[in-house]
Structure 1
Amino acid sequence: MAAKSFDLIVIGSGPGGYVAAIRAAQLGLNTAVVEREHLGGICLNWGCIPTKAMLRSSEVFHLMERAKEFGLKAEKIDYDLDAVVKRSRDVAGQLSGGVKHLLKKNKVTVIMGEGTIPAKGKVSVKTDKGTEELTAKNIILATGARARELPGLEADGDLVWTYKHALKPARMPKKLLVIGSGAIGIEFASFYNTLGADTTVVEVMDRVLPVEDAEISAFAKKQFLKQGMTIMEKAMVKQLDRGKGKVTAHIETGGKVEEHEFDTVISAVGIVGNVEGLGLEALGVKIDRTHVVTDEYCRTGVDGIWAIGDIAGAPWLAHKASHEGVMVAEMIAGGHPHPVKPESIAGCTYCHPQVASVGYTEAKAKELGYDVKVGRFPFIGNGKAIALGEQEGMIKTVFDAKTGELLGAHMVGAEVTELIQGYVVGRQLETTEEDLMNTVFPHPTLSEMMHESVLDAYDRVIHM
């Protein structure tokens, strides 16, 4: 059978792959997507989307418990974990179906199966019906990543869970250990803690949410402790002894190892790129610590082979993958797009309170040699936050004292994952402090705190 020929083949249909395919099709390229598991990838099926659905359930539950504060009555408040999970799976299913529809609408050929690249310009796909041979001048690797498993701490789905088990729990944990306090770890800790699990978080670095600004991490930690979590920093899980219905964790802090007992462990210690089995080494594609090495335009250095999203390294964010997908599709079609700059990509964590940031932390800006002006504004000074009953939070802005450039913005509190985009747009438009100060923010909104934080950096704050 003759090989089917395309202008572009995308391997992987996550937020990088399917977006790249749609943009390429819009630009007139005959495009195919090869997907071995679920359209929409991890993000839609096992990551960003279902976790947000579950976190929304825990947020509503938390608000129901606070009913009295709002002059409302809600008695015998409870939850049905199976129903919470079902809702989250239904949301994921709806969106995965949406991706299928979008690919079809844009006339992208979808081939379900496992792809390998036997030679430049060739993709071989193992499907249910046998092997399909495809050819294309350009191939985009968008195969994503999976959970990193540390030796001795491997998941078994019973006592020790990965994010996948945590999204479809067979039971509600009573005493939970979460290893790792990045976005994934802290979101699960937040979800299960809110529903009543006695939750301990172990972080090897010196603070939780270690990629965030130190002040934001400290503020968030204070809130987590208030919510009854146990936080262990500069700590390491050395081994897990699995017994019947319980796990004994050997946790080292300050040179001492102590034993703690849990009934459930969630491991969230980072990710590894899905680089195996594609034939990349034979093609000469460089791989560094499970990630494909690329330039700023996602070129691998091997003609006609590109890599986007998680497989191409940090930051491991869906929106970075999508933007890279669009950029590469435009380059293949002969365009001249701007490269995606990692420091202009916002990070959002949907724990309670939410955390969001873009650009440099204060420490990073100083390390890079900037003379900085820093502004802060607390939620307690904002009318809308008080009316919402959400007065715990802060917004911090970091400016270059010489030019007024917004170097970074860091937030913790209600709805900050939505607010951050204001600063992202500002940075994209190369806004200065003057532009932000002269912008009229509507009242009463949480966004006014963004204005006040800028004013504070220049000693002009009004409501503090």
Structure 2
Amino acid sequence: MVVGELAHERDLIIIGGGPGGYHAAIRAAQLGQSVTLIEKDQWGGVCLNKGCIPSKIITHGAEKFASIRESENIGIESKNVTFNMNTFTEYKHKTIKKLRESVQLLCTANKVEMIKGAAFFLSENKVGVENGDQYNVYRFKHAIIATGSSPQAPEGIKVDNKRILDSWSITSLDLIPENLFVYGSDYIALEMSMAFEALGSQVTLILDNSKDDFDYDLSINRELKRVFKKNQIQVIRNASISKAYSDEKAVTIILQNRNRIETITGTHLFTSSFAKPNIENIGMDRIGIETTESGFIKVNKQCQTTCSNIFAIGDVTEGPVLAVKAMKQGKVAAEAIAGIGAEADFRFIPAVAHTRPPIASAGLTEQEAFAHGYEVEIGQFPLSNNGYAGLIGKKDGFIKVIFDKKSKLLLGMHMIGDGAIELISSGILSLEMIARDEDLLFPLYPHPSINEALLEAVEALKNQAIHLTPNLKKERFNV
């Protein structure tokens, strides 16, 4: 390969066309930058093609299928309803393709130059881009690294993408597993457990030794135990997989459970993974960008690296491996490059799971609030007491609010139940605007709706909730 001296001039180079990358590209273009977006694989990145979107198509399909089977109570007869995996797979591919095309159309409409190829830094202001036999050099004023991460399975587990699956390959399954073991405690493990149970798999969830529960408020964790029991999902706690291997017919798992070792078998194993930032082959060693002890790129609140004209966003930086983080950082980086005083603050980043029922949280959990030294007040309202939840047959779950007793400031909001993922925006806005209990009590809430459960959760603080019986008003509601 002969590298020519000619370098194409660009204002901003963005390496990676996932959610963070294309949000950064479009925001920078809105601010008048000449933007080149480089992606070596598929537009939309892992989130659109292998992660967030495919997994949510699975959870959506599972919820639809389960809802149809549960609809006999309102007169819809569904005894012969089946789930056709081939049709579902075709729908998934069509949906992803349309969304991928939408990303391209949006970038084109904003005059973002889109280049396919593998990019790597040659110096602090140059990148090389290789695509097959084609090679070009670009000189830039600023660059943004948005190359994402790859799943790394726990030690002892070799993912074969057929029977032993990670977060990328489980979304490509073309069958419903007969017996699915799920190893992990994150939101993906919960989503896959509940989705495949609804589709007909016998599911066993294994929590490793470092986790005897989930990373949610303790009330949500208790409700999850009830939901698992109701749905016949077995949970093995305080265990770890020391080894897992597969053959043509089954997966064999060597399980270390407290003081004993046992061997269990099933048709499939899904394992939650560690996120490994994709920074090995982009030439960072040539320009001296510093990384953290855990291997992520160091950035400040403007997403600026230790190389002042280069920024980094998304999974290559420390913090939750979430598209919402990458998208926000992308906009912040674009605005910082344009001279706008923007910052990325993830204090109230929402934690959501598209489970059955959905989970959504923002702010401090009850246990975190106590650990921070707050004297807390808690209001909690069960969806079983909400008229609309009863009407639609979605009575599982509750809404919980946590306030500082002295200042009356909202500290956290946690919910599990139908509509939780949409409703948590009210909690995020309230936290960002430093809301007090009176700020949530004053507005009118639509009727009938699950929104009213939020009002009654706050009313429960003052023993004013209309749809709680007196004994539940005197004592905090426990699930």
Please classify the TM superposition score into its range, dividing by the shorter chain length. over 0.9
Residue 308 of structure 1 and its aligned partner are, at CA, apart by 0.8
Q: Which residue number in structure 2 is paired with residue 98 of structure 1?
A: 102
Q: Which residue number in structure 1 is paired with residue 301 of structure 2?
A: 296
Residue 350 of structure 1 and its aligned partner are, at CA, apart by 0.2
2:133 aligned with 1:114: no
Counterparts of residues 185-224 of structure 1 (less than 5 Å): 185-204=189-208, 205-208=210-213, 210-224=214-228
Matching residue's letter, 1:279 = G
Q: Which residue number in structure 2 is paired with residue 333 of structure 1?
A: 338
Counterpart Cα distance in 1 of 2:276 and 2:377: 37
* Counterpart pick for 2:260 among 232, 256, 259: 256
Residue 231 of structure 1 and its aligned partner are, at CA, apart by 1.1
Counterpart Cα distance in 1 of 2:419 and 2:313: 29
Counterpart Cα distance in 2 of 1:176 and 1:290: 32
2:295 aligned with 1:285: no
Deviates most, 141-150 or 454-463: 454-463
Q: Which residue number in structure 2 is paired with residue 312 of structure 1?
A: 317
2:229 aligned with 1:225: yes
8 Å CA contact 1:11, 1:142 repeated in 2: yes
- The number of residue pairs the alignment matches comes to 462
Secondary structure of the residue that 1:331 maps to in structure 2?
helix
Q: Which residue number in structure 2 is paired with residue 443 of structure 1?
A: 447
8 Å CA contact 2:157, 2:245 repeated in 1: no
Q: Which residue number in structure 2 is paired with residue 40 of structure 1?
A: 44
Counterpart Cα distance in 2 of 1:346 and 1:193: 26
Residue 306 of structure 1 and its aligned partner are, at CA, apart by 0.9
Counterpart Cα distance in 1 of 2:55 and 2:109: 28
The Cα offsets for residues 56-113 of structure 1, whole Å up to 9 and x where unpaired, read as 1111110121121122212211111121122122111111110000110001111111
Secondary structure of the residue that 2:362 maps to in structure 1?
strand
Counterpart Cα distance in 1 of 2:23 and 2:329: 9
Q: Which residue number in structure 2 is paired with residue 463 of structure 1?
A: 467
Counterpart Cα distance in 1 of 2:427 and 2:126: 43
Residue 211 of structure 1 and its aligned partner are, at CA, apart by 2.0
Matching residue's letter, 2:24 = A
Counterpart Cα distance in 2 of 1:67 and 1:460: 34
The Cα offsets for residues 160-192 of structure 1, whole Å up to 9 and x where unpaired, read as 112222111133210111111211111111121
8 Å CA contact 1:40, 1:99 repeated in 2: yes
Secondary structure of the residue that 2:107 maps to in structure 1?
helix
Counterpart Cα distance in 1 of 2:458 and 2:277: 39
Counterpart Cα distance in 1 of 2:290 and 2:259: 38
C-alpha distance 81-336 of structure 1, shift in aligned 2 (>3 A): same
Counterpart Cα distance in 2 of 1:191 and 1:170: 15
Q: Which residue number in structure 2 is paired with residue 65 of structure 1?
A: 69
Output the TM-score relative to the length of structure 2: 0.93
Counterpart Cα distance in 1 of 2:221 and 2:99: 32
Counterpart Cα distance in 1 of 2:179 and 2:379: 40
**Which aligned segments of 4 or more residues in structure 1 are displaced greater than 2 angstroms?**
205-208, 241-244, 457-462
* Counterpart pick for 1:398 among 397, 402, 406: 402
8 Å CA contact 1:315, 1:342 repeated in 2: no
Secondary structure of the residue that 1:190 maps to in structure 2?
helix
RMSD: 1.4
The Cα offsets for residues 284-307 of structure 1, whole Å up to 9 and x where unpaired, read as 222232311212221212111111
Structure 2: which 5+ runs fail to align?
Answer: 469-479
Residue 206 of structure 1 and its aligned partner are, at CA, apart by 3.5
Residue 421 of structure 1 and its aligned partner are, at CA, apart by 0.7
2:156 aligned with 1:139: no
Secondary structure of the residue that 1:291 maps to in structure 2?
coil
Q: Which residue number in structure 1 is paired with residue 273 of structure 2?
A: 269
Output the TM-score relative to the length of structure 1: 0.96
Structure 1: which 5+ runs fail to align?
Answer: none
Counterpart Cα distance in 1 of 2:228 and 2:288: 47
Matching residue's letter, 1:345 = I
Counterpart Cα distance in 2 of 1:275 and 1:374: 44
Secondary structure of the residue that 1:290 maps to in structure 2?
coil
Matching residue's letter, 2:154 = L
The Cα offsets for residues 8-65 of structure 1, whole Å up to 9 and x where unpaired, read as 1111111111000000000000011110111111111112222222211111110121
Secondary structure of the residue that 1:16 maps to in structure 2?
helix
Q: % of aligned pairs identical?
A: 30
8 Å CA contact 1:274, 1:290 repeated in 2: no
* Counterpart pick for 1:11 among 15, 37, 61: 15
Residue 203 of structure 1 and its aligned partner are, at CA, apart by 1.5
Secondary structure of the residue that 1:115 maps to in structure 2?
strand
Deviates most, 274-283 or 39-48: 274-283
Counterpart Cα distance in 1 of 2:380 and 2:257: 33
Counterpart Cα distance in 2 of 1:72 and 1:242: 42
Matching residue's letter, 2:313 = I
8 Å CA contact 1:24, 1:31 repeated in 2: yes
Residue 325 of structure 1 and its aligned partner are, at CA, apart by 0.8
Counterparts of residues 152-163 of structure 1 (less than 5 Å): 152-163=156-167
Counterpart Cα distance in 1 of 2:444 and 2:180: 46
